[in-house]
Structure 1
Amino acid sequence: MIQDLTDRDTDAGVRIRTAAVLLFARQGYAATSIRDLGKAVNMTNAGIYHHVTSKEALLADLMRVAQRGLIDATERMLAPYRRPADRLSLLIGSLTAVHARSPMTTRVMDGELRSLTPGSAARDEIIGLRDAYEAHWKDALADGVAEGAFRVADERLTRLALMSMCTGTSEWYRPDGRSSLEQVCAEFVAIGLAAVRAPAVASLATADLSLLPDYPWEPLDDRDDDPRPDEARR
């Protein structure tokens, strides 16, 4: 993670992307200008445009790379498994961990689709990537219901509820909090399997966090500045 966005010894493209994620996550894409990005990295507007063609193209690229990284990691983890409970466990654990480890990148990935121009090729591509990822959740739940391993009244609502639980870690998880990331993932898996009324199994697949994507532009976690006492933190 970059500590100094103005350090010219660090790749300019990475610095610009770090600044973009930081600003898009904190104040929103619409409220961030090219001038804001230039100020953050100590570059002129022309200097920014030397590395990116437009602010929207920069957003689309960040979302594209982040989404593809999540899909690739997910598919590598799921490949050896067929049992729905294993697949759901891996999906819950990996989505939770990605959002906890890269909170600002995932906030942008999850929240700024609305900022891409409707009907544009970039927006259609990001929607396609999002749908390809969510298909793994749909398939795991549908297979579990079809096999009698899961009892779910509404598969869509269940999927949305479980995914929202996982993505919420980008808002509250802290590396120095009371629970380790592994503990949070394990607890969320238990909650998820209980939600689909899955029977207890002797052993369950566990997400390999080393396979998860690393985003080189993820900003330093500013939640370390949280002034609340430790017992008030998650």
Structure 2
Amino acid sequence: MDTSLTDRDTDAGLRIRSAAVLLFARQGYAATSIRDLARAVNLTNAGIYHHVSSKEALLADLMRAGHRGLIDATARLLDGVQQPSDRLALLIASLTAIHARSPLTTRVMDGELRSLTPGSTAHDEIIALRDEYEDHWRRALADGAGQGVFRVADQKLSRLALMSMCTGTSEWYRPDGDSSLEQVCAEFVAIGLAAVRAPARPTASADLSLLPDFPWEPPDA
């Protein structure tokens, strides 16, 4: 096999995914054409189709990889952690950090499910992956409420509110801002635990090195 050809194909595929994430996040999937992608990476339309079968397949691939990276990282972080407060703290910190570090990829993951064809295999797969991840939050809140360490009137609303707080960092966090990512994560953990009225106690801190890095995330976005 000609490894130089393989390397060029890999590089082109990565550049296409980087351009797709940037365009899908900034102007939306529906407003982005194959021609836009081709122009962004200096390829022809045919060159794009050499690497991806369709624009929707490209979107599904990005969302699939993003969700799987999130699920795998979360499983590693929660491995062996029993206390609901510690689990919730790790969930808040990790979701906050992933959205802050990969804002464009996570915006696409969070906002473009509607662009996948309803009832398609890809659509159903992404929903299943999203539910698999959110089950960690459901179980942590249910266990905390069941053990009497959380006091929440509505577990679903509490989960949605806390997750929205975390995912919002993709819109406003900047590495050169006033607060470091570790400070933001710690503050959000404190806010989240206070929201469920968890008793004050030391909580597990998330090892941010375990979180996924998405190679297609534009570094200067």
TM-score, with normalisation over the residues of structure 2? 0.95
Q: Could you say which residue in structure 2 is the equivalent of 1:177? A: 177
Q: Deviations over 1:68-112 (max 9, x none)?
A: 000000001001201000000000000000000000000000000
C-alpha separation in 2, matches of 1:28 and 1:182: 30
Structure 1 unmatched ranges of 5 or more: 1-7, 223-234
Q: Could you say which residue in structure 2 is the equivalent of 1:5? A: none
Q: Could you say which residue in structure 1 is the equivalent of 2:39? A: 39
Q: Could you say which residue in structure 2 is the equivalent of 1:232? A: none
Q: Could you say which residue in structure 2 is the equivalent of 1:114? A: 114
Cα distance, 1:10 vs structure 2: 7.5
- Aligned ranges 1:133-152 → 2 under 5 Å: 133-152=133-152
C-alpha separation in 1, matches of 2:91 and 2:220: 24
C-alpha separation in 1, matches of 2:29 and 2:70: 22
Cα distance, 1:220 vs structure 2: 2.7
Cα distance, 1:52 vs structure 2: 0.2
C-alpha separation in 1, matches of 2:167 and 2:128: 19
- 1:76 and 2:76 are equivalent in the alignment: yes
Q: Deviations over 1:144-186 (max 9, x none)?
A: 0000000000000000000000000000000000000000000
Matched residue type, 2:203 = L
Cα distance, 1:9 vs structure 2: 9.8
Q: Secondary structure of 1:158's match? A: helix
Q: Could you say which residue in structure 2 is the equivalent of 1:225? A: none
CA RMSD of aligned residues (A): 1.1
Matched residue type, 1:100 = A
- 1:24 and 2:24 are equivalent in the alignment: yes
Q: Could you say which residue in structure 1 is the equivalent of 2:153? A: 153
- For residues 54 and 10 of structure 1, do their structure 2 counterparts lie closer, same or farther at Cα, with a shift above 3 Å needed? closer
Q: Secondary structure of 1:11's match? A: helix
Runs of 4+ in 1 over 3 A off after TM superposition: none
C-alpha separation in 1, matches of 2:144 and 2:218: 38
Structure 2 unmatched ranges of 5 or more: 1-7
Bigger share in helix: 2
Q: Could you say which residue in structure 2 is the equivalent of 1:57? A: 57
Identical columns (%): 80
Q: Secondary structure of 2:73's match? A: helix
- 1:215 and 2:209 are equivalent in the alignment: no
C-alpha separation in 2, matches of 1:10 and 1:129: 26
Matched residue type, 2:84 = P
Matched residue type, 2:135 = A
Cα distance, 1:204 vs structure 2: 1.1
TM-score, with normalisation over the residues of structure 1? 0.90
Q: Count matched residues.
A: 214
- 1:206 and 2:205 are equivalent in the alignment: yes
Q: Secondary structure of 1:77's match? A: helix
Q: Secondary structure of 1:98's match? A: helix
Q: Secondary structure of 2:176's match? A: coil
Matched residue type, 2:139 = D
C-alpha separation in 2, matches of 1:9 and 1:152: 51
C-alpha separation in 2, matches of 1:104 and 1:38: 19
C-alpha separation in 2, matches of 1:126 and 1:181: 28
